[in-house]
Structure 1
Amino acid sequence: MFLWLDERACILGVGRTLRKVLGVPEAQIVGAPFSRFFSVARRGGAVRMCPKELRSSCGAVDCDRQIGRCGRSLGAMTAEEMLHVTLRMRPQVSLRGALVSHAGPPIQGGAPTQAGGDMLLNFSFGIHLRELVAEFDLTEHDFSAADLAMEMLYLQEAKSLVLEELRALTGRLDQARKAAEDQALSDPLTKLANRRAMAQALARAVDHATNGLANFALLQVDLDHFKTINDTQGHAAGDFVLQLVARNLCESVRGGDLVARMGGDEFLVLLRGNPSRAEIGTLAARIIEQLKAPKWYRGQECLVSGSLGAVSSRDYENLEIEALQNDVDRATYAAKTAGRGCLRFGSGPVENVEDEPATSPGAAR
């Protein structure tokens, strides 16, 4: 990666690896001016101009005064610890190196007092070593034994392997965390949201409604005669019925609604989007009909029905989660005392629970 220059900044010799990078035969490189293949730049690519000390005494005609156009301007760089250049044929490739003057007078003020002797430039790829080695298809034989490029590549490869393993580990940890969160917020039997998940969703819904963003409704479903199934047909039959009810509820509600199993044979549905009483009644009628449909487990019919209670957030001046849950419980209890298999609305004291049956199951979803 060396470049040998004379006092005019013409190339006298070029290293094998640098020649490979330039991509042209050695005969076209030797004798050519430095500026044909390289441009001196600051970090960021800004072109550097000759120092004032050189420009004031320069007699060159039609010169753009860029460092590297002549030997004197390039020699002015020997006082710097590091030289940065870009390839003219590939401006995206940046090299860094050290410039050493073989002969010539001492440097004063960063510039030689007169034309110096030969100069030697020794380049490296810097921080872009890995990318450029791959781009130019370089191998270990393209670097000298004293060059630390291979060691740097090995370190970068080791770093990449470690980072890849860390990313894989992070991915596995994220999956495990998500699985743990899903497990903590879901009912293991029905795969519905559990009491904790409903509490979180209900808290957000109350916050939105309180701030005037969106109203909602709560629909509670309590199975009738479920204990009889457990007692006469066994808990396996009861579990089957709960799973079937869960599937029916999910198929009945809209996509944005949340169905949760609160425990035992009690389910709670958070109806978002400010549904009207008529819409709640239509949904309840469909659920009631599905619950009454025959359910068979191992040749035995499992008969259940559902008592439903509902409350709407728009009926409350001061929304409180506890009040909502108490009122929907009262409404569900009112449905049971009214004969089961029906819907009752409620908000506030129990005497305000309305004796309003569900609408026809044939209404639109």
Structure 2
Amino acid sequence: MDDRRRPDEGHCIPPVGLGIAAMDRLMPMHLHLSAHGRITARGPTLAKIGAGLELVGRNFFDLFEVRRPGGVEVMADLVARQGQRLHLCLRHAGAEFRGLAMTDEAGGIVLNLSFGIGVVDAVRTHGLTDADFAATDLTVELLYLVEVKRAVMGELQRLNQRLQGAKSHAEELALTDTLTGLRNRRALDLALARTVAADKPFALMHLDLDHFKAVNDRLGHAAGDHVLRVVAKVLSNETRAGDLVARVGGDEFVILLPRLTNLSRLTVVADRIIAGIAQPMVFDGQTCQIGASAGLTVSTLYRLRNAQVMQNDADTALYAAKRAGRGRVMAFTPDPGPK
């Protein structure tokens, strides 16, 4: 005796003679509608998406909105568009689908749904797995490709960050004096070129240590290295954050001071530096006593600014300070004609 009931009586019967398990396996996102538009069966994936929402027994158009093509509001409209691609959404869950409707032998409709290009978001939103799709559905392969791409892109991004970090670290090392942590000659040349090109006022201070060789000769190079590190700390403490302090030779330093050309103020800075360096330094129980001399020049003295010319002039002023007795600062005095 056949106990199958009519589709519009609310009993979940499989359409077109297929068993329920077969339909669920072949089309896990299917709906079966009676001739009157009542949902009589739904695939397990739709049940998962509409968790807490009973689909079976409800009117299809109460739960779903067909957005494209337009004007599909009753069963006759759906039947008239069988075989056409449908765009629809589940009103209460906000899920969007692509679908294809076909009539069955009882006058109802089998509607097979998929997510289309929104599958990745749908999987994430509803916690779906490959078990929620038909075994032959290319969606599963698409999901694997998406996951592989995400993993590869993530690894490439991390690799790129490591490479950028390594590059930045290498660039920093290339511009840093390893003993003192100050900038080196290359960093000074680059900064000077940028400052000259920007056509902004600046000063250069060339500083040389006095009696440093005696420390090396008497106490050894370890003591000399200690003195240089202390000098670097004095220079950093007595200059501004935007100034560049570079060690350009064994005991030679150059300071680039942007936006500062007042010789009185520059002399005060140089005097503080010289006084700090003159303080006794203790290494391994031995006192190291050195001094410093400095030469200054400012960009406002030059009609045409040339970094090399200015460095030479600061060097000239430095040796004038040494000849004048050391432990002092002198500013470069140009010839009467402008440079």
Global fold match (TM > 0.5): yes
**Residue in structure 1 matching 2:92, options 78, 89, 93:** 89
What TM-score, normalized by structure 1, do the two folds share?
0.78
Distance 2:59 2:144 in 1: 36
Instruction: Tell me the equivalent position of 1:166.
Output: 156
User: Residue 225 in 1 paired to residue 227 in 2?
Assistant: no
Percent identical among aligned pairs is: 42
Residues 107-118 of structure 1: matches in 2 within 5 Å? 117-118=107-108
Distance 1:258 1:331, change over 3 A: same
Residues 1-365 of structure 1: matches in 2 within 5 Å? 1-26=29-54, 29-41=55-67, 48-50=69-71, 67=72, 69-80=73-84, 82-91=85-94, 93-102=95-104, 117-209=107-199, 214-349=200-335
Uncovered stretches (5+) of structure 2, i.e. residues with no partner: 1-28
Q: Superposition RMSD on alpha carbons, in Å?
A: 2.4
Do the aligned residues in 1 keep the contact of 2:203 with 2:257 (CA within 8 Å)? yes
Uncovered stretches (5+) of structure 1, i.e. residues with no partner: 43-47, 51-66, 104-115, 353-365
Letter in 2 for 1:88: R
Do the aligned residues in 1 keep the contact of 2:204 with 2:296 (CA within 8 Å)? yes
More displaced 10-residue stretch of structure 1: 127-136 or 177-186: 127-136
1:16 Cα deviation after fit: 1.7
Distance 1:186 1:76, change over 3 A: farther
Do the aligned residues in 2 keep the contact of 1:219 with 1:270 (CA within 8 Å)? yes
Distance 1:8 1:86 in 2: 20
Letter in 1 for 2:184: N
1:299 Cα deviation after fit: 1.8
3-state DSSP class of the match of 1:191? coil
Instruction: Tell me the equivalent position of 1:109.
Output: none
Do the aligned residues in 2 keep the contact of 1:259 with 1:267 (CA within 8 Å)? yes
Distance 2:32 2:277 in 1: 91
Aligned length, in residue pairs: 310
1:247 Cα deviation after fit: 1.1
Distance 1:218 1:72 in 2: 89
3-state DSSP class of the match of 1:95? strand
Distance 1:220 1:248 in 2: 15
Do the aligned residues in 2 keep the contact of 1:291 with 1:305 (CA within 8 Å)? yes
Distance 1:202 1:8 in 2: 84
1:285 Cα deviation after fit: 1.0
Do the aligned residues in 2 keep the contact of 1:208 with 1:215 (CA within 8 Å)? no
More displaced 10-residue stretch of structure 1: 30-39 or 194-203: 30-39
3-state DSSP class of the match of 1:329? helix
